[in-house]
Amino acid sequence: MLIEVTCLNIDSASFRQLKEECGKDSDRLKQKIRQIVADRGKMHNPVTGSGGMLIGTVTRKGPAFPDPSVQPGDRVATLVSLSLTPLFLEEIGEVDMAVGQVKVRGKAILFASGPFARLPDDIPETLSLAVLDVCGAPAQTARYAQTGHQVAVLGAGGKSGMLSLYQARRQVGEQGKVIALESNQKACEELRALGLADEVIPVDARNPVQVMEQVEQATAGRLADLTINCVNVRDTELSAIMATREGGTVYFFSTAVQFTAAALGAEGVGKDVHMMIGNGFAQGHADLALETLRECPPLKELFQSRYARGESGVPS
């Protein structure tokens, strides 16, 4: 399927790394994106190994494309990483430095195996793009959080974190507990206003001892049954592991995670936990994420203030 691309949503870990490398200079960042795509034929960050996703208009479809309902003229969002999507950029326009969205003019190819979603009519495109970029996290949270679980979300103030909080809240019930851990003070205030977490704890996710102590205190020594890592910086692997009880589960959604560090870290502290790679795909994940916004108006309002108008200083 050939897509006329109008906007890229660079994934959070990648965009943070690019901003730091370019000194938060938008012109330098545009040049870096242009260089990556020219060199690799896709938006595949050579440092983080990650990409993001895009939105655009279908212009052509091969005769063997498996979905007969999608037609030229349809507005779609790809649900496969930009690191796997052939891309050609003709022009790079405005860069939203707060949320990692880049206006472009170009073309992309989606293979028959690549998932995608039609853009809904009731949610602005840039907001849909922001949500669909991380829709794997809430879907996996809904799958693995259970009634009575103590669930900790690291990086709870970003897109994936807040969507995961909502699904965790739905799953654990009154017997369970949802703990939001976030380093950004403004995001902590917004999380408290949302009321999706039983406790909102300001803490640096790169400090494993402090994270463990905070979760230990919040759970009366039990630690988390399930820990969701949504942090967009490196060196948070051990924090997620130490926040989790023996036999519990750590879901590493963040693409900033180094899985060698996670494996060796668990070994080093003698922690027997189940560790899951953050598969960004789950059946029905796009619909679930969009429906989350419809079900929770305060969350939709907060997302809209950040991503639909690009007015945010909070990390995504």
Can you give the pLDDT at residue 254?
87
Residue 59 has pLDDT above 70, yes or no: yes
Residue 255 has pLDDT above 50, yes or no: yes
Q: What's the rounded mean pLDDT across residues 274-285?
A: 90
Residue 219 has pLDDT above 90, yes or no: yes
Which two tokens mark 187? 């995001």
Question: What is the three-state SS of the chain?
Answer: CEEEEEEEEECHHHHHHHHHHCCCCHHHHHHHHHHHHHHHCCCCCCCCCCCEEEEEEEEECCCCCCCCCCCCCCEEEECCCHHHCCEEEEEEEEEECCCCEEEEEEEEECCCCCCEEECCCCCCHHHHHHHHCCCHHHHHHHHHCCCCCEEEEECCCCHHHHHHHHHHHHHHCCCCEEEEEECCHHHHHHHHHHCCCCEEEECCCCCHHHHHHHHHHHCCCCCEEEEEECCCCCCCHHHHHHCEEEEEEEEECCCCCCHHHHHHHHHHCCCCCEEEECCCCCCCHHHHHHHHHHHCHHHHHHHHHHHHCCCCCCCC
Whole-number percent of the chain with pLDDT over 90: 88
Q: What's the rounded mean pLDDT across residues 121-147?
A: 94
pLDDT tens by residue, 80-130:
999 999 999 999 999 999 899 999 999 999 999 899 999 999 999 989 998
Residue 244 has pLDDT above 60, yes or no: yes
Can you give the pLDDT at residue 177?
98
Residue 312 has pLDDT above 70, yes or no: no
Give the confidence band of 64 by pLDDT, cuts at 50, 70, 90: confident
Residue 299 has pLDDT above 80, yes or no: yes
Q: What's the rounded mean pLDDT across residues 186-204?
A: 97
In order of their start, the domains of the chain are 2-119 (no CATH), 135-277 (3.40.50.720)
Can you give the pLDDT at residue 279?
81
Whole-number percent of the chain with pLDDT over 70: 97
Residue 313 has pLDDT above 90, yes or no: no
Q: What distance in Å separates the CA atoms of residue 216 and residue 53, rounded to the nearest whole number?
A: 37
pTM, whole model, 2 decimals? 0.88
Nearest CA to 100 out of 164, 190, 161, 18 is that of 18
- The letter for the amino acid at 53 is M
Residue 309 has pLDDT above 70, yes or no: no
